[in-house]
Amino acid sequence: MERPLTKNIHPGRPPLNLKDYEMTGGYSALRKIMAGMSPKDVQQAVQDSNLKGRGGAGFNTGMKWSFVPMDEKGGPTKYLIANADEMEPGTFKDRLLLEGNPHQLIEGMIIAAYAIQANISYIFLRWAYKAAAKCLEESIHEAYHAGYLGENILGTGYRLEMYLHTGAGRYMCGEETALLNALEGKRAMPRAKPPFPQVSGLFGKPTIVNNVETLCCIPHIINNGAEWFKSLSYSEDGGTKLYGVSGKVNKPGAWELPMGVTMRELIEEYAGGMKNGYQLKGVLPGGASTDFLTVQHLDLKMDFKSVAAAGSRLGTGTMIVMDDATCPVGFVHNLQHFFAQESCGWCTPCREGLPWVEKLLLSLEKGTGTEEDIDLLQQHTQWLGPGNTFCALAPGAMEPLQSALKYFRDDFDRHVKEKKCPYHHNHH
């Protein structure tokens, strides 16, 4: 089984420096495009590979790039941004790539920037990733020194600057238009679309924002071709995927596997099954803002299409396992507390609705909730759903709530009937 993104990453060992990276074939993809691929060739190769964005939305990466104006209308300045904010609760995959092989990301960024003819690039890194910040700074410095960044890359005349920007917190920064506002020194509020960032993004210039894992796939696609990339996958979405499992399993962690492995393989094989004394009750397949799946979905293939067909989203591919000793109402309350806190306050349904949802769930947990409260929660999943809010934060927050009400309704009802949280003393 091929693991192009992580085969040279050995957790616990220092990251690959420039020399190590070059020894493993690093920067050969950049040399290849500089020796004779046009920006359009690069876009086409990536589009043909069926690489879909790994940050959660799952849009075809090459197609996203193709929306950037390539004629003089695009103007002399364009931007390429690596979204390394990784703030989705339960998600820890990009950390592995950033801390293990920073040059892989840098090479992917240079190729992506070349494909849209951007001359300035930023890595938007979340504040908490201190180790990643250190190795990225060092690696960017090495890449400049080796002539992979700067005025005249590999003597071709192509110029690219790269800067590391570390954030100051806030989940909203992961949303691509809010990220642009943060990079402009403003509050991280989402922007109206259209115009899309590909046309008018950072400082009003054409901008592409790609997730770290997405960008790390690029050098391998260029080196080995679109057909090879597609063949790595068990499904129609190309490539491998970094999957993760957290919760009460024996071996929580993250692994690069063919796109489309089943949830059962991930939990039972790679994560070593549930800890002794616990049963699996539910799974958020791709971070806090994805719908619950349950035991009936264990044989589901974890790719964008299959997970969507089952009523959820692959999201970031890092799943959170809920065991049978954890209260589903308490679990969802924790999520809604997070979303209410992280709402930027711009639009009314999100700003007012999420704290209300949080309060209703808290009253259920405290034993003071009523049947009507459960109905109100149900109504909120519509009111805060897609189409009623400015961005995807509140609809994302409603995904675990609506599916918890669907799959674990008995647990909600028991809180009302028993006037307490029935799980309260189940903590081992």
Partner 1 sequence: MLTEEEIKAIDHEASRVPHKKAALIDALKIVQQQRGWVSDESVSDLAEYLEISPAEVDSVATFYNLIFRRPVGSNVILLCDSISCYVMHYEEIYASLKDKLGVAFGQTTEDGLFTLLPNACLGCCDRAPAMMINHDLYTDLKPEQLDTILMKYK
Nearer to partner 1, 167 or 395 (CB): 167
**Minimum distance from residue 399 beta carbon to partner 1 (Å):** 13
What distance lies between CA 282 and its chain's CA centroid?
21
* Separation of alpha carbons 145 and 48, rounded Å: 33
Distance (Å, whole) CA 180 – CA 300? 36
**Angle formed at CA 30 by CA 24 and CA 32, multiple of 5 degrees:** 95
Quote the least distance from Cβ 85 to partner 1, whole Å.
10
Cα 184 from Cα 427, distance rounded (Å): 45
DSSP 3-state of 15: coil
Residue whose C-alpha is closest to residue 109's, from 212, 242, 3, 200: 212
14-50 residues labelled b (16+ CB within 10 A) or e (exposed): ebbebeebeeeebbebbeebbeebebeebbbbbbbbb
The smaller minimum CB distance to partner 1, of residues 46 and 188, is found at 188
- Minimum Å gap between C-beta 164 and partner 1 is 9
* Nearest to partner 1 of 139, 306 (CB atom): 139
Least distance (Å) from partner 1 to the CB of residue 117?
18
CB of 185 to partner 1, least distance (A): 4
- Tell me whether residue 129 or residue 412 sits nearer to partner 1 (CB atom): 129
Residue 62 or 247 with smaller CB distance to partner 1: 247
Task: Return residues touching partner 1 (CB under 8 A).
Answer: 86-92, 95, 126-130, 163, 165-171, 182-188, 203, 244-248, 252-254, 284, 288, 318, 320-323, 326, 330-331, 334-335, 337-338, 341-342, 344, 427
User: What is the C-alpha to C-alpha distance for residues 56 and 103, in angstroms, rounded to an integer?
Assistant: 23
Nearest approach in angstroms of CB 41 to partner 1 is: 30
* Residue among 166 and 363 whose Cβ is closer to partner 1: 166
